[in-house]
Structure 1
């Protein structure tokens, strides 16, 4: 029997409502879990319908969630929704074997070491002294890292000519010299304006750095080491004991969007992630849609 994803999800939703008598919020959560799997299969160009999904595919799907920085409790929540979906397919005699049967749920205590809870992100930002030029720069740096999920090298290479404040986007040069457009969050745009107007425009800029956004006190492009040491010093001031780096903010960006219910494909697009099974960057999404995802699901929007 051929069963499409839209058909299966529609039937599953009806089952949860009529037979399980779940609330609308619970039904939406279960359906969102199943749609994440559907999206991942499409992204990986795997032509598997709901009845063709194997245990191996599900393990690869969970590995993708781990790579994106989704916390163990959130992974367990997603797997719970998918288990309920396949339990439904078994009850309807559409399947003979459950592909989720041998999967282990991620242990709740196994938090990824480089992901911050949102209150800790706020503590980190609050530790910055905004009365100093270094503080204004540090706040802009952290806001951009956290609101846009940039790699530290992408941040240091960011160009003034590639920031479009009116459109709310930045053009980022990523790995392999691949360009992508990334939404610029509201708080990031605000603190970037403070830095550019209050610090950078008063600096003497060294030749070759005229178009570089973030500069050192000597007017040269900000180094990756300076970004690392700044974040580590702020983490110590904030009393955060875990190992925190610029990549922590990138992972936190992805985690908080996904845990808020953002589209897996949109998050991977913003991160500039290559597919696990191919070396291609995923198909570009409409810019307005990426901005909508950022506005709706990012904690600082």
Structure 2
């Protein structure tokens, strides 16, 4: 059974879902991923009417995903896609109930320590940068590693988002704005990037980072800037060759630095733009001074004969 038959059978539902996601302001990547997940699910239940889809069909689909090797995280995303799909159909008055709503998400491994770069490695990363668009590219990497910005947030930045007081207004996930006060060195670099920036050809819109053609720098290009720099770093530091470092790991590095500097978790949550503090808590396990201090408190209690062995 091909994609065409599924599109013919569920074309209206997919269109309603697409409109609903656009109205919610979901990113293009989320839109694409959710449409793909729902399409695979509908292929499995074809030709059942959406109104007649039950919890059983969804459980069967989730089991099939597990058998094909999808991990907890991947299956949870697929479940989120289906919950949103049925929620959209309810809001668009195409269905009355959500068969995916009561299905529990898979329990994921919690507090897995994230991959990040040490401060000396970040310094080496910046030293590895060179090339025609040096000022622009260094600014991008600095925003990831020393302001904790996501790739999509850098992509969406406009000139007016850089404030006179040295802070930057960031449009984050879920269309939520946050304010990030910038260190002086980073603010100076951004001002240099503005002075060096090509004129934008996007009419009224003034993107902060533009391509050589005067267009808003794409998400892919921003990732490429980070990836190419990381590749150079790995050549200069062979010990990092097997470390899985990506543009997002630079954000992890920022969070790690903050925790090590004594920033409390609520403040870090605000800086990172996390909706839930649970997401921020993974960083508390990197350098937890309180845990070490608690263990030091009892070190003198260990009997003398065991202390200096």
TM-score scaled by length of structure 1: 0.51
Say which of 175, 183, 191 aligns to 2:181. Answer: 183
Tell me what 1:136 maps to: 135
Tell me what 1:250 maps to: 251
> CA 1:154/1:210 → structure 2, altered by over 3 Å: closer, same or farther?
same
Question: Aligned ranges for residues 1-301 of structure 1 at < 5 Å?
Answer: 112-113=114-115, 115-129=116-130, 132-164=131-163, 166-197=164-195, 199-200=196-197, 203-208=198-203, 210-239=205-234, 240-241=240-241, 242-275=243-276
> Residues of 1 paired with 2:180 and 2:148: CA distance?
9
> CA 1:111/1:269 → structure 2, altered by over 3 Å: closer, same or farther?
closer
Contact 1:163/1:169, CA 8 A, preserved across alignment: yes
Larger fraction in helix: 2
> Residues of 2 paired with 1:191 and 1:277: CA distance?
33
- The DSSP-based 3-state class of the residue aligned with 1:238 is helix
- The DSSP-based 3-state class of the residue aligned with 1:258 is helix
Q: CA deviation at 1:209?
A: 6.9
RMSD: 2.3
Q: CA deviation at 1:244?
A: 2.2
Between structure 1 and structure 2, the one with the greater Rg is 2
Q: CA deviation at 1:117?
A: 0.7
- The DSSP-based 3-state class of the residue aligned with 1:150 is coil
Name structure 2 gaps, 5 residues minimum: 1-110, 235-239, 280-309
Contact 2:269/2:277, CA 8 A, preserved across alignment: no
Q: CA deviation at 1:194?
A: 1.6
> CA 1:276/1:261 → structure 2, altered by over 3 Å: closer, same or farther?
closer
- The DSSP-based 3-state class of the residue aligned with 2:149 is coil
Q: CA deviation at 1:258?
A: 0.4
> CA 1:125/1:257 → structure 2, altered by over 3 Å: closer, same or farther?
same
- The DSSP-based 3-state class of the residue aligned with 2:179 is strand
Contact 1:231/1:244, CA 8 A, preserved across alignment: no
> Residues of 2 paired with 1:119 and 1:206: CA distance?
39
Aligned length: 164
> CA 1:276/1:111 → structure 2, altered by over 3 Å: closer, same or farther?
closer
> Residues of 2 paired with 1:245 and 1:138: CA distance?
15
Moved over 3 A (4+): none
Could you list the per-position Cα deviations for residues 106-152 of structure 1 after superposition, in whole angstroms to 9, with x for gaps in the alignment? 9xxx8633x111111111101111xx441111101111122211111
- The DSSP-based 3-state class of the residue aligned with 2:153 is helix
Contact 1:159/1:212, CA 8 A, preserved across alignment: yes
> CA 1:187/1:209 → structure 2, altered by over 3 Å: closer, same or farther?
farther
Contact 2:230/2:246, CA 8 A, preserved across alignment: no
> Residues of 2 paired with 1:128 and 1:187: CA distance?
17
> CA 1:227/1:243 → structure 2, altered by over 3 Å: closer, same or farther?
farther
- The DSSP-based 3-state class of the residue aligned with 1:254 is helix
Higher relative contact order (CA 8 A, sep 6+): 1
- The DSSP-based 3-state class of the residue aligned with 1:206 is coil
